[in-house]
């Protein structure tokens, strides 16, 4: 060893040698090391007694840093009644502007977009000329409410047959079925699901005893999920025994959808399943 040191292979360390407890039990370095170990054990035992693990500390820290929900975020979950929503809309006649017009103005009146500042929802307000009978408006609204109970038509929020602003306020649907049929994806044809939706609505109306009686293709609307709805119950009437005797149980199939097939053909839209359904309904009525 001495020879290696002299040859320069081993060099003396500038720091003192590390001393193990067996060789240097009485050295100051060993005593300092012993005191550190004892302190570490004491700290470890204290942590275990407190029952707080590292995971518990992290969890507690997260809870401490969690901010309470603000009143504003809680207010979004507050239920708003139908009466409060309608009241918040204010004077409905104020929405009768050109910028709110939905589609073209018809003989009966026009339909306008009504936007709620309270909930952000949009509604459709179908208006009528001032000479329209209040009784007829109430009858149309009732037919639509009955149909809405089976998810055939949009929900009616309110209606009025008196005053200068006569209207039916309802949920707004975004798409006309004819517009979807004209899209590049559908290529001037109704999908099978859309045709089945039209038939399903007709059969539900039959079960309610309501004849829609207006097979204008523009009276078919679609929601965001692709569900088909009927609108405009202005020509609707109750299905009586005379109609049942003549057309059987599928009165809307023989009449409303029959008119609808002709209207779709006028728009250049193909709907073979609807045509087959009408033929089967009429054949059953004759038998």
- Contact at 8 Å (CB) between 215 and 230? no
d(CA 169, CA 266): 30
Q: What is the 3-state secondary structure (H, E, C) of the chain?
A: CHHHHHHCCCCCCCCCCCCCCCCCCCCHHHHHHHHHHHHHHHHHHHHHHHCCCHHHHHHHHHHHHCCCCCHHHHHCCCCCCHHHHHHHHCCHHHHCCHHHEECCCCCCCCEEEEECCCCCCEEEEEEECCCCCHHHHHHHHHHHHHHHCCCCCCCEEEEECCCCCEEEEEECCCEEHHHHHCCCCCCCECCHHHHHHHHHHHHHHHHHCEECCCCCHHHEEECCCCCEEECCCCCCEECCHHHHHHHCCCHHHHCHHHHHHHHHHHCCCECHHHHHHHHHHHHHHHC
For position 35, what pLDDT does the model report? 56
For position 28, what pLDDT does the model report? 53
User: Which sequence spans correspond to the domains of the chain?
Assistant: 82-171, 175-286
For position 31, what pLDDT does the model report? 55
State the architecture of 82-171 in CATH terms.
2-Layer Sandwich (3.30)
For position 32, what pLDDT does the model report? 55
d(CA 190, CA 156): 27
Provide the residue-wise pLDDT of the chain in tens; the chain has 287 residues: 434 433 444 444 444 444 334 444 454 555 555 555 545 444 443 333 334 444 443 444 444 444 444 333 334 456 888 888 999 999 999 999 999 999 888 778 899 999 998 889 999 999 999 999 999 999 999 999 999 999 999 999 999 999 999 999 999 998 999 999 999 999 999 999 999 999 999 999 999 999 999 999 999 999 999 999 999 999 999 999 999 999 999 999 999 999 999 999 999 999 999 999 999 999 999 98
CATH superfamily of 175-286: Transferase(Phosphotransferase) domain 1 (1.10.510.10)
């Amino acid at each position: 060893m001495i020879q290696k040191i002299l040859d320069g292979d081993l060099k003396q360390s500038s720091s003192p040698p590390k001393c193990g407890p067996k060789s240097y039990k009485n050295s100051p370095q060993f005593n300092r090391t012993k005191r550190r170990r004892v302190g570490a054990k004491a700290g470890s035992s204290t942590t275990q007694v407190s029952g707080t693990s590292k995971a518990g500390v992290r969890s507690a820290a997260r809870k401490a840093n969690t901010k309470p929900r603000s009143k504003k975020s809680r207010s979004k979950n507050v239920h708003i009644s139908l009466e409060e929503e309608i009241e918040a809309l204010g004077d409905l006649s104020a929405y009768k502007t050109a910028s709110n017009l939905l589609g073209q103005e018809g003989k009966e009146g026009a339909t306008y977009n009504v936007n709620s500042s309270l909930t952000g929802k949009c509604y459709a307000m179908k208006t009528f000329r001032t000479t329209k009978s209040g009784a007829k408006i109430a009858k149309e609204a009732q037919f639509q409410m009955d149909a809405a109970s089976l998810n055939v038509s949009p929900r009616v929020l309110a209606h009025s047959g008196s005053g200068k602003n006569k209207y039916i306020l309802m949920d707004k649907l975004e798409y006309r079925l004819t517009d979807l049929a004209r899209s590049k994806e559908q290529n001037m044809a109704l999908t099978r699901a859309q045709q089945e939706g039209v038939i399903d609505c007709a059969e539900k109306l039959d079960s309610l005893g309501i004849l829609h009686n207006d097979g204008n293709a523009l009276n078919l609307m679609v929601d965001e999920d692709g569900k088909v709805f009927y609108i405009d119950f202005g020509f609707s009437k109750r299905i009586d025994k005379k109609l049942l005797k003549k057309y059987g149980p599928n009165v809307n199939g023989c009449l409303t959808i029959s008119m609808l097939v002709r209207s779709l053909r006028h728009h250049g839209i193909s709907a073979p399943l609807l045509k087959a359904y009408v033929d089967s309904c009429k054949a059953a009525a004759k038998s």
